[in-house]
Structure 1
Amino acid sequence: MNLLRIKEDLSDAHLRLSRAVVEHLDWAECIRRYDREGTLFYLDPPYWGTAGYGCDFTLEEYYRMGELARTGQGQFAISVNDTPEMRDAFKGLTLQTTLIRYTVGQQATEPRGELIITNR
């Protein structure tokens, strides 16, 4: 952050966000409200079986997410950890796998599987 450019940076951010809408809704309600042709949803839910998110996100939520992605009008891109439960929850959608190294603090983990899920 360059404090000498803060005024310009804030002005740029204001222009980029001037047409943005920020909602405080349940994720599924937000999808129902905005689901239409031409909408792109990027969903990055808590990774299944991990701790530290501070919210209760049950396995049923992933199945609900998969159903909305299968039946929605918009385009969906979802990233989750690659586990048998996630593969089952998002069955019928396009699943691509990749390896990713997570960084916690300055420590990098061993590469782990991640799913990139799309409905088109």
Structure 2
Amino acid sequence: MIENLSYAEFIPCYDRPDTLFYCDPPYYDCESDYGEGLFAKCDFETLVQLMRQASGKVLLSINDKPAVREIFTGLTQKPVTVTYSVAEKSPAQFGKRERPANPTC
């Protein structure tokens, strides 16, 4: 089955005690990085309410900022240190897509 639902529809629809939701919204203060109007700051409040109401478990991936910690107050928060592989590249290579000189397809 393929679904095309927003998180606000998807979570209530599939919420069960044995469900694990992995949520990866845009980073806080980067809401428009995936397109205008797709996710706004107010969506974080909607998401946290759905997380609090969920009978299943929810794992959230988001940047660690004071505002984020405030929004998700009352939920278990475990910061994780990560290294972004993109950050290891030079600024000139960031976002660059390489293609073979003679593509075969």
Please give the range of the TM-score, normalised by the shorter of the 2 chains.
Answer: 0.7 to 0.9
TM value normalised by structure 2: 0.74
TM value normalised by structure 1: 0.65
Give the number of aligned pairs. Answer: 89
1:40 is aligned, of 20, 35, 45, to: 20
Residue type matched to 1:63 in 2?
E
Q: Which residue of 1 aligns with 2:40?
A: 58
Query: Structure 1 residue runs of 4+, over 6 Å off?
Result: none
Q: SS in structure 1 opposite 2:5?
A: coil
Structure number with the bigger relative contact order (C-alpha 8 A, sep ≥ 6) is 2
Q: SS in structure 2 opposite 1:100?
A: coil
- Higher fraction of strand: 1
Percent identity of paired positions between Structure 1 and Structure 2: 38
2:55 is aligned, of 73, 88, 98, to: 73
Task: Structure 1: state its 5+ residue gaps.
Answer: 1-20, 109-120
Q: Distance between the aligned counterparts of 1:61 and 1:52, measured in 2?
A: 15
CA deviations over 1:13-35 (Å, ceiling 9, x no partner): xxxxxxxx321011110001111
